[in-house]
């Protein structure tokens, strides 16, 4: 049986905890076939980002088209895109692929606070890429930036999810990792119904790459034919397992365990 063909469009994390590296580990762990279109190279570790070098937009677009015209793409996720020209190039390339399921992770800042998306690119993301998305997966600061208002209360988060869908996305997952307290909630709005995924916070600091990992996991599930809610639920469980068994590397925000304790994660479970 052919595995689901999953493309990640993102930057490289030299430390291996986030970006392309985390996505490939996740996709393969969950049974997909991983492909990559690299948008940028970063010098990065658990302590922060020391340098970012973006690739030319036509090089990013060529990578996407190369995968699409030969191997084929069932689902894709977008992470770090950098600037407006790259967002436009990615939107053009992905928008031309018939039947593609797209998950957009609006990566705006690294875990340590370094800015990863230029201000003009935020506009391009809203106007050009989000309308192509089956799902958009912002954390709380990203959701606030996308909709322009606070998302501190449950009502504000519901409003933000509705507004993201109104921008053209098929669904929105407002991630709750920035919420205070020990109990977290990820809020999914599928365009009609709200679904809540509650979990107990796993103590930091080894949470580097959680957003990348979650969006890659969801894209893999969607590419495998899982319904949206099931793909999100499996992705949340996988990330929680990967945090709990993190290897404890580095002196800052350490990476996850993308083996997830060797738990069984086949399609449909």
- Domain boundaries in the chain? 5-133+203-262
The CATH fold assigned to 5-133+203-262 is 3.40.1190
Q: State the average pLDDT over residues 28-34.
A: 96
Q: How far apart are CA 94 and CA 262, in angstroms?
A: 33
Total-model pTM = 0.94
- pLDDT of 152-209, one tens digit each? 999 999 999 999 999 999 999 999 987 878 888 999 999 999 999 998 888 778 899 9
Question: For position 269, what pLDDT does the model report?
Answer: 46
**3-state secondary structure at position 127:** helix
- pLDDT of 51-103, one tens digit each? 999 999 999 999 999 999 999 999 999 999 989 999 999 999 999 999 999 99
Q: State the average pLDDT over residues 107-132.
A: 81
Q: Which residues are catalytic?
A: 175, 207, 209-212
- Higher-pLDDT residue of 269, 25: 25
Cβ neighbors of 50 (< 8 A, separation 6 or more) are 42, 43, 44
């Amino acid at each position: 049986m052919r595995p689901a063909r999953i493309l990640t469009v993102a930057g490289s994390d030299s430390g291996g905890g986030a970006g392309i590296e985390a996505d490939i580990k996740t996709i393969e762990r969950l049974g997909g076939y991983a492909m990559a279109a690299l948008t940028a190279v970063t010098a990065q570790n658990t302590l922060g980002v020391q340098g970012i070098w973006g690739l030319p937009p036509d090089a990013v677009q060529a990578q996407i088209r190369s995968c699409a015209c030969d191997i084929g793409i069932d689902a894709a996720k977008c992470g770090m895109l950098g600037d407006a020209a790259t967002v436009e190039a990615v939107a053009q390339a992905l928008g031309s692929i018939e039947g593609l399921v797209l998950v957009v992770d609006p990566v705006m800042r690294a875990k340590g606070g370094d800015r990863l998306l230029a201000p003009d690119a935020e506009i391009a993301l809203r106007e050009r890429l989000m309308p192509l998305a089956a799902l958009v997966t912002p954390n709380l600061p990203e959701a606030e930036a996308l909709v322009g208002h606070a998302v501190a209360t449950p009502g504000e988060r519901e409003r933000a999810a509705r507004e993201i869908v109104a921008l053209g996305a098929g669904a929105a997952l407002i991630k709750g990792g920035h919420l205070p307290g020990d109990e977290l909630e990820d809020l999914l709005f599928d365009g009609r119904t709200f679904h809540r995924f509650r979990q107990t916070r796993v103590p930091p600091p080894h949470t580097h790459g959680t957003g990348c990992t979650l969006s890659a996991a969801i894209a893999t599930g969607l590419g495998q034919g899982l319904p949206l809610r099931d793909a999100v639920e499996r992705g949340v469980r996988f990330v929680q397992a990967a945090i709990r068994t993190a290897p404890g590397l580095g002196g800052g925000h350490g990476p996850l365990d993308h083996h997830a304790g060797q738990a069984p994660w086949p399609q449909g479970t």
